[in-house]
Amino acid sequence: MSLSQRKILIGITGGIAAYKVPELVRRLRDHGAEVQIVMTEAAQSFITTLTLQAVSGHPVHTSLLDPAAEAAMGHIELARWADLILVAPASADFMARLAHGHANDLLATLCVAARCPIAVAPAMNQAMWSAPATVANCQTLLQRGVYVWGPASGAQACGDVGAGRMLEPEQLLLAVRQHFQGVLPDQRLRAETFTDYTASLNASPLQLPSPLPQILRDQRVVITAGPTREAIDPVRFISNYSSGKMGFALADAAARSGAIVTLITGPVSLATPNQVTRIDVVSAQEMFDSARTACQDADLFIATAAVADYRPETTAGQKMKKQKGAPITLTLIENPDIVGTIAGDTQNAKRPFIVGFAAETQNVLQYARDKLVRKHLDMIVANDVSQTEIGFNSDDNAVTLVWAEGEKVLPRASKPTIALQIIEEVALRLAQKG
């Protein structure tokens, strides 16, 4: 979507995340927006006005008491000019002042005087983000219709790990575009659920904050999950340790993000996420057949399942009896390559965006990049399953997303948190593709 003729006022407060703003401004202008910038005094300690003037093409506004500007009531004119005010980064101090209606600097005054929508992109230490005062201030802002975009969770400049990172420029760009498409009002967190949202960052492995941004609204998503079982005889089979938790977390995150989700799962003991259509299969061949059919009209295919590479050439009709001292020889044949076949399916006129998984125990990124190219995938999630705390059956994960133009590390977090981060990144790629 073009942002042509959209007027966006970026407010910058004091925080190390200010270094991301020039890229955000550049991306907004690439999409046609006109951008002006207001900085607090603290923000000027982190990034220069000269840099921001260069990327925005406008003088940067810093003072409420600028005689030249105020001769024409400059702060009121700026407030009237904007179609959207986005404060990024938004510090805990600024959010507190905004919640209490302070007008003691230019940015706060503009927000008080504005009649356009206001969004804040929080950026602060994880302890500050979860502090009761911040939670209360955020509840107040949400009740007044201010959008709260983020924060993300991960490593922080202070060395802590947790929620409080400002969203990346591409994520904020997507939020702005969705706002002007009329999607964002459905994304806004309700004030009464904000405490649940912050608490959910450390919630149990199969819970996600609700509601979530509708970044995959009406997209048809197919996800495979869990292991497959390849029968040796009626009571024995070849399989692996996959629990299905990652695939189910992805299905939940996608459904909560507005997608129409079909989850094709091998044998697991997990509850079906809400608003998800579940197809149970056992073997790799069954999963292949179901996935190929479901992907005929899919927009996105995420191949999370740990599919057995091989199956016995023949399956005994009766239980194979142990013969003392006599070895049993199994001849294995290759199973169909589900993600590779669907990625290369020339009969599918509407090829979905395809995300694969590379569960490896060594040379993880090397093997993942090879699989990305060899199987013609759009993105791959590299996962080191040799680490027991983030491997099969664990509640946490840590992955690296790899695509043709780059990669992104997602530090260790609960699988629902990782799933949400993957869905956010995939939504960005789909938006760029569209």
Query: Residues 111, 116, 138, 158: which is the catalytic one?
Result: 158
Could you tell me if 146 and 121 are in contact, meaning their C-beta atoms sit under 8 angstroms apart? no
Per DSSP bridges, beta strands 332-334 and 310-312 are antiparallel
Active site includes 116?
A: no
Distance CA 398, CA 387 (A): 10
At position 355, the amino acid (one-letter code) is V
How far apart are the C-alpha atoms of 242 and 207, rounded to whole Å? 19
Of the candidates 260, 115, 99, the one whose C-alpha atom is nearest the C-alpha of residue 194 is 99
**Torsions phi, psi of 431, nearest 5?**
-65, -40
Determine contact, residues 78/9, Cβ cutoff 8 Å: yes
Q: What is the DSSP string of 160-201?
A: -EEEEEPPPHHHHHHHHHHHHHT-HHHHSPPGGGHHHHHHGG
Distance CA 335, CA 355 (A): 20
Phi-psi region of 145 (alpha: psi -120 to 50; beta: other; left: phi over 0): left
Check if the beta carbon of residue 122 is closer than 8 Å to that of residue 135: no
User: What distance, in Å, lies between the first and last C-alpha atoms of the chain?
Assistant: 8
Cα distance between residue 418 and residue 86, in whole Å? 26
CA dihedral 268, 269, 274, 276 (to 10 degrees): 20
Within 8 A by CB and 6+ apart from 67, the residues are none
Buried b (16+ CB within 10 A) or exposed e, 32-52: ebbbbbbbbebbbebbebeeb
Cα–Cα nearest to 268, from 392, 177, 351: 392
Distance CA 334, CA 323 (A): 28
Distances (CA, A) of 88 to 45, 98, 177: 15, 14, 16
Q: CA 194 to CA 377: how far, in whole Å?
A: 37
Active centre residues (catalytic): 158
